[in-house]
Amino acid sequence: MKRSEMLKQAREQSGPWDVVIVGGGATGAGVAVDASSRGYSTLLLEQHDFGKGTSSRSTKLVHGGVRYLEQGNVSLVMEALRERGLLRQNAPHLVGELPFIVPSYAWWEGPFYGIGLKVYQMLSGKYGFGPSKLISREETIRHLPNVNTDGLTGGVVYYDGQFDDTRLLINLIATAAEHGATLLNYAKVTGLLKGADGIVHGLTWEDGESGASFTAQAKMVVNATGPFSDSVRRLSEPEAKPMISPSQGAHLVLDRSFLPGDTAIMVPHTSDGRLMFAIPWHGHTLVGTTDTPLSQAVLEPVPMEQEIEFMLETASLYLAKKPARADILSAFAGIRPLVKSGDGHNTAALSRDHSIHIDRSGLLSIAGGKWTTYRNMAEDAVDQAATLAGLEEKSCRTRTLPIHGHHADAGNFGPLAVYGSDAWAIRRIIAEKAELGEALDDELPIYAAEVVWAAREEMARTVEDALARRTRVLFLNARAAIRMAPRVASLLARELGCDAAWEADQVREFNAVAEGYLVRI
Ligand SMILES: Cc1cc2nc3c(=O)[nH]c(=O)nc-3n(C[C@H](O)[C@H](O)[C@H](O)COP(=O)(O)OP(=O)(O)OC[C@H]3O[C@@H](n4cnc5c(N)ncnc54)[C@H](O)[C@@H]3O)c2cc1C
């Protein structure tokens, strides 16, 4: 994928697009894959980089949601479990099965959670992952060598899915491009165009790199801007009542010694009534999350002090080696685009179902849901958009559509496994120039060739794109990311034809963002 070609296609389109999508997160990318694979002409515009919003900041689980079962929302759990199975089938290079243990510290906890998790397993039907079972104290310790053994009676094992959120996102963008969609990052939608009848028939957008403004005509505009949905709705209806209750969730990343092995911990009830996870992810330990209502969404949220303290305290109850502030390698926050109901005070209790809202102007907004259900959300949105716009009826193809990079044996590709079938192309880059096969830092196996690949084929335009969303360095270890930034800037400058001043600006801008991922001791 080349941004210059995408820009040319967007500028040269004659006549209206069938579907124009605002927002390049999981929801927008899913809609782009769905619409383009049905054969509709499709344009997607993202104001920053693909995945800059919530979709890079998830807990990285492809899951049915054990908690929604407890809330009695069986249909939501079944939908998500089906989607979990479809995602593993369509993107096996990115979605893996992960065992979780719920450690028990009272005699009743094992049978209690054991029954619930058996039901969870049964609801997945033919899309099932491994079977859940009760295990002894000794087995629990064997799988979780750093578990707190004080009062430990045993545990319950169950299985869910795990993924790399922005690797999936960039592969969805590539899938849509392969089906003819035009997708642009750094393209902010600035206005909606309405006809005399008051119906939206297009939009204005700005190319973030040149500053030039453009218009795009559309038979249907889909607003997929997650936590920012209301600000886009207000471009057409300034008085629109808000549909989103934003809620922040934060994560901490620690080194692997806090969770050696390949098994995650699930804590079903923290002191604030939420679930908490400790998960092995890219050779590190990911701990999260929280649920703090916000009055408005921002693009670069920062974990709050009380969130950091709460996660350290909760993790310390379950781990023998207890994490302290100095152990935090990176801390990041994301904003859930929960759909409003009632006063929106207790966001943990708000539904995680998705919701489609059609304004009087015909603007279709799709929000809520979760990463796991992006495909189903997209199917729903495109069905409705096609009906509203009177597009030729075409059925959805995404249930069995392989996602770009699809490769059943990618697990054997070592550090390049997340690239799936693209791993061969990255190896060719290294074969052509051996120095690009060098790791960029001693602490993380990220190669210079990955940055080159990101610039050439994945539309990475900045150091942040390369270190936060094409590779995951910033999310894994913020100090390592700061160390790597100058070399990444120089690799990108060579690929993108930029000068030394650009390099220096890039490093400065990246360091300012990375500051927000560091935790002061
Ligand atoms: C802490 C946390 C943990 C989570 N963990 C999980 C999990 O483990 N598993 C799971 O399934 N789900 C999880 N979720 C939910 C999941 O991450 C979200 O539901 C999903 O990422 C939302 O995607 P989205 O595309 O709707 O929003 P976003 O990813 O926020 O995308 C919206 C995009 O719109 C863009 N935009 C805004 N305004 C404009 C404009 N004017 N012009 C152009 N573009 C614009 C933004 O820049 C942004 O990139 C989690 C969420 C949070 C917050």
**pLDDT tens digits, residue range 206-262?**
999 999 999 999 999 999 999 999 999 999 999 999 999 999 999 999 999 999 999
Calculate how far, in angstroms, residue 465's C-alpha sits from the geometric centre of ligand 1: 16
Mean pLDDT of the region 484-490: 98
Closest CA to 420 of 84, 238, 174: 174
Residue 347 has pLDDT above 70, yes or no: no
Ligand 1, residue 370: give the atom nearest the CA.
Answer: 19
For ligand 1, the distance from its centroid to the CA atom of residue 352, given in whole angstroms, is: 13
Name which residue leads in pLDDT, 120 or 229.
Answer: 229
Indicate the pLDDT class of residue 371, thresholds 50, 70 and 90. Answer: very high
Q: Is 303 in the pocket of ligand 1 (CB under 6 A)?
A: no
Please give the number of the atom of ligand 1 that sits closest to the Cα of 249.
1
Q: Are 169 and 55 in contact (CB under 8 A)?
A: yes
**Predicted local distance difference test score (pLDDT) of residue 5:** 98
DSSP bridge pairs for 154: 104, 136
Predicted pLDDT at 352:
58
377 closest CA partner among 393, 350, 353, 395: 353
pLDDT category at 16 given cuts 50, 70, 90 is very high
Q: Is 52 in the pocket of ligand 1 (CB under 6 A)?
A: yes
Query: Is pLDDT at 503 greater than 80 in this prediction?
Result: yes
For residue 371, which atom of ligand 1 is closest to its CA?
A: 11
Of 33, 54, 62, the residue with max ligand 1 atoms within 8 A of its CB, to mutate for a pocket test, comes to: 54
Mean pLDDT of 444-455: 96
Give the per-residue pLDDT at 374.
Answer: 97
From the alpha carbon of 297, which atom of ligand 1 is closest? 30
Ligand 1 atom at minimum distance from 45 CA = 43
Query: From the alpha carbon of 29, which atom of ligand 1 is closest?
Result: 25
What's residue 71's pLDDT? 76
pLDDT at 129: 86
pLDDT score for 271: 77
| Residue 465: DSSP 8-state | I
Mean pLDDT value across the chain? 94
- State whether the beta carbon of 335 lies less than 6 angstroms from ligand 1: yes
In the chain, the percentage of residues whose pLDDT exceeds 90 is 84
Best residue for ligand 1 mutational test, from 371, 374, 375, 377 (most atoms within 8 Å of Cβ): 371
pLDDT digits (tens, 9 = 90+) for 144-177: 999 999 999 999 999 999 999 999 999 999 999 9
pLDDT of residue 343: 42
If one compares 274 and 475, the residue with the highest pLDDT of the two is 475
Residue 395 in 3-state DSSP?
coil
CA of 139 to the centre of ligand 1 (A): 37
Residue to mutate, 20, 81, 221, 225, ligand 1, most ligand atoms under 8 Å from C-beta: 225
Neighbours of 337 (CB within 10 A): 29
Query: What tens digit of pLDDT does each residue of 355-365 get?
Result: 999 999 999 99
Question: What's residue 65's pLDDT?
Answer: 82
| Pick from 352, 25, 37: nearest CA to 177 | 37
What spacing in Å lies between the alpha carbon of 24 and ligand 1's midpoint? 9
Burial string for 440-464 (b: 16+ CB within 10 Å, else e) reads: beebbebbbbbbbbbbebbbbbbbb
CB 420 within 8 A of CB 93: yes
Which pLDDT does position 113 carry in this prediction? 81
* Tokens 């997929």, located at residue: 224
DSSP string, 151-196: T--EEEEEEEEE--HHHHHHHHHHHHHHTT-EEESSEEEEEEEE-T
The model's pLDDT over 244-254, given as tens digits with 9 standing for 90+, comes to: 999 999 999 99
Pull the structure tokens for residue 202: 């297009």
Using only C-alpha atoms, what is the Rg of the chain? Answer: 23
The per-residue pLDDT for 341 is 66
Does the pLDDT at position 427 exceed 90? yes
The protein residue with its alpha carbon nearest to ligand 1, atom 32, reads 225
Q: Is the Cβ atom of 232 under 6 angstroms away from ligand 1?
A: yes
179: nearest Cα among 351, 1, 423, 388: 1
Q: What is the DSSP string of 295-357?
A: SS--SS----HHHHHHHHHHHHHHBSS---GGG-SEEEEEEEEEEP-TT---GGGS---EEEE
Q: Is 188 in the pocket of ligand 1 (CB under 6 A)?
A: yes
Q: What is the mean pLDDT of residues 182-199?
A: 97
Residue 235 CA, closest ligand 1 atom number? 41
Distance 225 CA to ligand 1 centre (A): 7
> Residue 351: its pLDDT value, please?
53
The residue among 93, 89, 111, 90 whose CA lies nearest residue 102 is: 111
Residue 349 has a pLDDT of 46
From 370, 373, 464, 469, give the residue whose CB has the most ligand 1 atoms within 8 Å, as the site to mutate: 370
Q: In the prediction, which pLDDT does 345 show?
A: 44
For residue range 33-87, what is the model confidence (pLDDT) as tens digits? 999 999 999 999 999 999 999 999 999 999 988 777 777 788 888 899 999 999 9
pLDDT of the residue at 111:
80
Alpha-carbon span 419 to 401, nearest angstrom: 18
CA of 485 relative to ligand 1 center, distance in Å: 25
When pLDDT is averaged across residues 461-476 and rounded to a whole number, the result is 98
Residue 386 pLDDT class (50, 70, 90 cuts): very high
CB 224 near ligand 1, within 6 Å: yes
